[in-house]
Chains A and B, each alone.
Chain A
């Protein structure tokens, strides 16, 4: 079993886009190189992304903004594999249609 970390990190997010995976935690992107290059650029520019019919402003400081940034490459093809409960709640409450 891995030794538990003594230094707490914040919540992490992870997305899968076209079979490529990338994650974010506390401002750090990691994973598929192309995906995170696009994500960093989107976060820097504060790009707006439509994900799950919610409008998200990309950034590298918040879990929701990071998901937006990671999804900016192909928003329609994004699956969010890991996110904090408040982000899941945001998606649930902001769906535009069924």
Chain B
């Protein structure tokens, strides 16, 4: 019991709050205080450097942009000292050149899109404000009409049933019942309008810029960026996919390849087929193998069964004789060595999703266990809610294909590392790595990234840093897939012009030398 209740003279608390409440408040306070010191206030977002010559001379001078892209590639892919010196002199560093090139591409992209990032965000903000206002107005109007209906009813009641209070009545047909169920046509209309506004507010996605108009604007801006990069170098081309790739994932990955430079796609195809599989869990990229729903692992295993032990087939196991390779029922029952074929089994009414399921008996389905595809591959989760005209899972496929490109394109990872180090270094000191959540094995430097995942640092089992980053992947997923507020500040996500410029600059320049040599 609270001491305040047992001891009226106690001045420790008023006794109005339970001690458990006080304890919870204290715990919340101390937890919050501890968290506040976890990360420092981020440094001010690095502004996009003003494009220096020759970029600022005329962003339509495509030849000079191409020349700049080639110099950047020379500096990053080959470490060419002359190129580095030239870019140092003109842009402060090769990274400055990437940013300047990207700023020019961004500007051209908005021209192609016919809508600027500011206009898209303002348009969404207006729509959201209008929807919010409509929500408030319709709620208020319904309340006013409801009050008016009650007043009208009370006036009618006083005229036709003088001296009877509705509060004193009950049952169907009583004044109380009539009052509670009385709806004028105006009130019915006001309630319908209120419900419509509420449904739009809750379900249209307007709060997070996931409404159709916002998505259409994001698509326009993404397409504009794609067209601007395509002015400098061709995009897309044939991406060789593994024959066992799953159709929906292959569709998403093939579409995603259309936003990446043709040189990158070609490098991937020349390196061998890329496998694409669907996952209902976490999507990912692996340079060596992926598990696939399409590939059956048809490898029976030897088991020793003592003579006389039961060897009855079950949905999960089928016994095969070593000698005949047929069903165990036909084998020599005295043999001790058997093969057993294992099956994946599902007990569901309808046919499960995926390939090769066969019915064993009503409600029992089986197929051979799934196997792996060796070689590079991506797994894609087929998420809904993408941009109009894009297949399901497009944004995630763009992300995962970005990881593949990091491996395929020389100099790209170095470029990303440069940018990441620049953004996460303050006064010559790198930011601390922190786990994204307590106990997480993902460590990030938060900087002022729009999503802390961008600052993820990978390490292998020995703790050595891996080449992969989440810069290009998160960037292309945002710019072309419309996630992360398109990087332009849609939804409750911040805007990052510097990242947008870097991504488009990197796409316009990395691996360009390869094109020249192959042509």
- B interface residues, tally (CB under 8 Å): 55
Question: Is B24 in contact with A52, judged by CB distance below 8 angstroms?
Answer: no
Is B392 on the interface with A (CB-CB < 8 A)?
no
Q: Whole-angstrom distance from the CB of B75 to the nearest CB of chain A?
A: 30
A39 and B379 alpha carbons, distance in the complex (Å): 35
| Cβ B39 vs Cβ A82 within 8 A | no
Point out the residues of chain B lying under 8 angstroms from A28, CB to CB: 21, 24-25, 28
| A22 interface hit (Cβ, 8 Å) | yes
Can you list, as one digit per residue, whether each of A69-98 has a CB less than 8 Å from chain B (1) or not (0)? 000111111111111010110011101111
Q: Which residues does chain B contribute within 8 Å of A97, judged by CB atoms?
A: 282-284, 381, 396, 399-400
Q: Mark B423-457, 1 if CB is under 8 A from A, else 0.
A: 00000000000111111100010101111110000
In residues 12-69 of chain B, which contact A (Cβ within 8 Å)? 19-42
Q: Which residues of A contact B437 (CB under 8 A)?
A: 52, 79-80, 83, 87-88, 91
Interface contact B33-A74, CB-CB below 8 Å: no
Asked if A15 is at the interface (CB within 8 A of a chain B CB), the reply is yes
Interface size in chain A (residues, C-beta < 8 A): 52
List the B side residues contacting A92 at CB < 8 Å: 440
Choose among B32, B39, B448, B492 the residue that contacts A73 (Cβ–Cβ < 8 A): B492
Q: Assess whether A76 is in contact with B36, with CB atoms less than 8 Å apart.
A: no
Residue numbers in B under 8 Å from A68 (CB-CB): none
Q: Separation in Å of the A89 CB from the closest CB of chain B?
A: 9
CA distance A8 to B23 in the complex (A): 7
A13 is an interface residue with CB less than 8 A from chain B = yes
B448 surroundings in chain A (CB, below 8 A) = 18, 77
Residue B367, interface by CB 8 Å: no
B476 within 8 A of A: no
- Residue in A closest to B458 when the chains form the complex, CB atoms: A98
Query: How far, in Å, is A12 (CB) from chain B's closest CB?
Result: 4
Instruction: State whether A81 and B31 are in contact (beta carbons under 8 Å apart), knowing that A19-B36, A19-B40, A91-B440 are contacts in the complex.
Output: yes
Whole-angstrom CA separation of A60 from B31 in the bound complex: 16
B285 touches A98 (CB 8 A): yes
A16 close to B (CB within 8 Å)? yes
Q: Contacts of B285 on A, CB cut-off 8 Å?
A: 98
Q: Is the CB of A23 within 8 A of B436?
A: no
A7 and B20 in contact (CB under 8 A), knowing A19-B40, A98-B285? yes
> A31's contact among B24, B36, B42, B281, by CB below 8 Å, is which?
B36
Which partner residue on chain A sits nearest B451 by CB separation?
A76
Asked if A44 lies at the interface with its beta carbon under 8 angstroms from chain B, I say: no
Shortest CB distance B24–A (Å): 3
Contact A81 B35, beta carbon cutoff 8 Å: yes
Known: A9-B20, A21-B38, A26-B20. A82 touches B25 (CB 8 A): no
Take A21-B34, A79-B436 as given contacts and tell me if A47 and B29 are in contact as well, using a CB distance cutoff of 8 Å: no
> A21–B35 contact, CB under 8 A?
yes
Are A77 and B494 in contact, CB atoms less than 8 angstroms apart? yes
Question: Does residue A43 face the partner (Cβ distance < 8 Å to B)?
Answer: no
Q: Which residues of B contact A85 (CB under 8 A)?
A: 439
| Beta-carbon contacts under 8 Å, A19-78 to B | 19-32, 47-48, 50, 52, 72-78
Chain A positions within 8 Å of B399 at CB level:
97
**Contact B35 A76, beta carbon cutoff 8 Å:** no
**Cβ contact of B25, chosen from A14, A22, A30, A77, cutoff 8 A:** A30
B207 within 8 A of partner (CB): yes
A72 to B491: give the CA distance in the assembly, Å. Answer: 11
Instruction: List the A side residues contacting B31 at CB < 8 Å.
Output: 12-14, 23-25, 30, 81-82
Taking the complex as formed, is B409 at the interface, i.e. its CB lies under 8 A from any CB of chain A? no
Q: What string of 1s and 0s marks CB contacts (under 8 Å) between B237-260 and chain A? A: 000000000000000000000000
Q: Do A74 and B283 have beta carbons less than 8 Å apart?
A: no
Q: Is B484 touching A31 in the complex (CB atoms < 8 A)?
A: no
Q: Which residues of A contact B30 (CB under 8 A)?
A: 23
Instruction: Report whether B28 and A76 are in contact in the complex, using a CB–CB cutoff of 8 Å.
Output: no
B residues less than 8 Å from A83 (CB atoms): 437-438
B184 to chain A, nearest CB (A): 30
Cβ of A6 to closest chain B Cβ, rounded Å = 8
Residues A27 and B24 in contact, CB atoms below 8 Å apart: yes
Contact of B452 among A22, A25, A77 (CB under 8 A): A77
Q: Is there an interface contact between B24 and A25, defined as CB atoms closer than 8 Å?
A: yes
On whether the beta carbons of A32 and B32 are closer than 8 Å, the reply is yes
What chain A residues lie within 8 Å of B21 (beta carbons)?
26, 28
Q: How long is the Cα–Cα vector from A14 to B435 in the complex, in angstroms?
A: 13
User: A14, A27, A91: which contacts B32 (Cβ < 8 A)?
Assistant: A14
In the bound complex, CA of A52 to CA of B438 (Å): 13
B497 to chain A, nearest CB (A): 16
Residues from chain B with Cβ under 8 Å of A81 in the complex? 31, 34-35, 38, 438
Seen from chain B, the residues whose Cβ lies within 8 Å of a Cβ on chain A are: 19-42, 207-208, 281-285, 381, 383, 396, 399-400, 434-440, 444, 446, 448-453, 484, 492-494
Supply 12 A–B pairs (Cβ within 8 Å), ascending by A. A16-B39, A25-B31, A26-B21, A27-B24, A28-B25, A31-B36, A76-B451, A77-B448, A92-B440, A96-B381, A97-B381, A97-B399
Beyond A13-B31, A24-B32, A98-B285, 5 additional contacts (C-beta under 8 Å) are: A8-B23, A18-B448, A21-B38, A73-B492, A88-B439
The 10 closest A-B pairs by CB, nearest first: A21-B36, A31-B32, A23-B32, A23-B31, A26-B24, A76-B451, A14-B31, A21-B35, A80-B437, A19-B41
